[in-house]
Amino acid sequence: MENISLFEGEKKHSVTEIKNLGLNRSEENLKKLLEFFPAVTDIEVKREIVSSIGRQNNNQKIFDFIKNNVYNCGFMDLVYQMYRTCLYKGRTDENFKNLGEEIKNFFNNEVLNKMHDYFFYKQTHSRKILREKKYSKPILLRGNNVETLKKIEKNSVQLIFTSPPYYNAKIYSNYHSYKDYLTDMKKTLEICHEVLEDGRFIIINVSPVISKRPGREFESIRYPIHFDFHKILTESGFYFVDEIQWIKPESSVKNRNGGYQQTKMPLSYKPNCINESIMVYRKNCNFLLDKNIAMYDKTFANDEIFDSSNCWYIAPTANKNHPAVFPKELCRKILKYYSFRGDVVLDPFAGSGTFGEVAIEMKRIPILCEQNEFYCDLINGGNIYVQL
């Protein structure tokens, strides 16, 4: 429904009406817009008024309006509109340029800083980046990924999807402490940041784990690995985009209800954990995702079928050779939504190599890292991978 400004005794103004005033530049329209601004209460309409004022020609009046209102308008949404005007008008008018700086420094807010960085990036970079593909064959890197990924060119990977070791939950993990574990994970994320192309996604599958009790008289510790991953991901130069829940059938997970079922005592409740987190992050950069998408033509679009929510119902897969393999269906969805045909895609903790297998099926070029020789041999059983 069209937003209409409503308060008692006030003439009603719609967003469309204000937009039309903004599109026609005239002193008369500017006068009306300046009069409407203090009287209108609806924030959407008010925002449109600010934007329409910014489109007008009389720079002195616009400058005075922003200077007099930006620090006391009460809504950051209005401040952003006023700042936007300063950015655009600041290209040719020093006064707006200085006012914009003043506003940015005064509020010192992450949105204004991002607006500033995006705006100036756009001014200095052409719209289309032509990318030349660095790798054309599947690659297997044997050894610790922190070392082996140094062989991969910076900015050459278009997607990273992985399931890191879940601290000491499985036989292939043996860290002295949780702190050591997070330090090691962060080293991997930092090298991942180097090889990932600007603006592309890194997707991590993790879930909380519980340590074994050293005896009946001690409490077990439950580690919220996904919360701690958020911290090391952001410290490594990625920002949060989405959290998808991978939901498994309840019959496939460990039953934790036993104690409560017996006693029905409050506090003894433990739900069965049927979800794992799929943490979707993007590499920090000064441009919108549109720019990443614009590198591909329209023939790369997906089919009509898609998952509309962030809950993906997928049964887990068991594998006699590896204790924690991805279900292929999970890899298919990740590759479908977060990469294009022909992209180079990386799994730094490859295990049995499920992600690589699906990537090849879906015409992507996988790079897999694995430090366990047995799993490496499993991955390259068919000699498909080049080993660097």
Ligand X SMILES: C[S@@+](CC[C@H](N)C(=O)[O-])C[C@H]1O[C@@H](n2cnc3c(N)ncnc32)[C@H](O)[C@@H]1O
Which tokens belong to 340? 């294009």
Q: Binding segment for ligand X among 36-44, 68-76, 229-237, 317-325 (CB under 6 A)?
A: 317-325
Q: How far is the CB of 192 from ligand X (least distance, A)?
A: 11
Q: How far is the CB of 22 from ligand X (least distance, A)?
A: 53
177: which residues sit within 8 A by CB, 6+ positions away?
Answer: none
CA distance 177 to 339: 35
Whose Cβ is closer to ligand X: residue 15's or residue 344's? 344
Which tokens belong to 387? 């080993």
Print the binding letters for residues 205-244 with ligand X: x by CB under 6 A, - otherwise. ----------------------------------------
Count of residues that bind ligand X according to CB under 6 A: 18
Single out the residue of 112, 370, 376, 385 in contact with ligand X (rule: CB under 6 A).
Answer: 370
CA distance 87 to 99: 9
Site for ligand X, residues 110 to 169, rule: CB under 6 A: 144-145, 163, 165
Whose Cβ is closer to ligand X: residue 230's or residue 322's? 322
CA distance 39 to 17: 15
Whose Cβ is closer to ligand X: residue 129's or residue 318's? 318
Which tokens belong to 291? 């720019």
Name the nearest CA neighbour of 357 among 388, 308, 319: 319
CA distance 53 to 31: 9
Q: Which long-range contacts (CB under 8 A, 24 or more apart) does 240-243 make?
A: 240/279, 240/280, 240/281, 241/201, 241/280, 241/281, 241/282, 242/280, 242/310, 243/277, 243/278, 243/279, 243/280, 243/310
Q: How far is the CB of 339 from ligand X (least distance, A)?
A: 16
Q: How far is the CB of 163 from ligand X (least distance, A)?
A: 4
**DSSP letter (8 states) at residue 237:** T
Whose Cβ is closer to ligand X: residue 78's or residue 204's? 204
Whose Cβ is closer to ligand X: residue 45's or residue 141's? 141
Whose Cβ is closer to ligand X: residue 115's or residue 378's? 378
CA distance 225 to 220: 15
Which tokens belong to 381? 């059983």
Q: Binding segment for ligand X among 79-87, 222-230, 250-258, 367-375 (CB under 6 A)?
A: 367-375
Q: Does 185 bind ligand X (CB under 6 A)?
A: no
Whose Cβ is closer to ligand X: residue 3's or residue 372's? 372
Q: How far is the CB of 303 from ligand X (least distance, A)?
A: 25
Q: How far is the CB of 194 from ligand X (least distance, A)?
A: 15
- By three-state DSSP, how is residue 119 classified? helix
Q: Where are the alpha helices (DSSP H) in 125-177?
A: 145-148
Tally Cβ neighbours within 10 Å of residue 229: 20
Q: How far is the CB of 88 from ligand X (least distance, A)?
A: 47
Q: Does 372 bind ligand X (CB under 6 A)?
A: yes
Q: Binding segment for ligand X among 54-62, 125-133, 234-242, 319-327 (CB under 6 A)?
A: 319-327
Which tokens belong to 144? 């610790």
Whose Cβ is closer to ligand X: residue 90's or residue 351's? 351
Print the binding letters for residues 321-340 with ligand X: x by CB under 6 A, - otherwise. -x-xxx--------------
Whose Cβ is closer to ligand X: residue 340's or residue 349's? 349
CA distance 138 to 360: 8
CA distance 70 to 110: 17
Print the binding letters for residues 338-357 with ligand X: x by CB under 6 A, - otherwise. -----------x-xx-x---
Give residues in contact with ligand X (CB under 6 A): 144-145, 163, 165, 172, 322, 324-326, 349, 351-352, 354, 369-372, 375
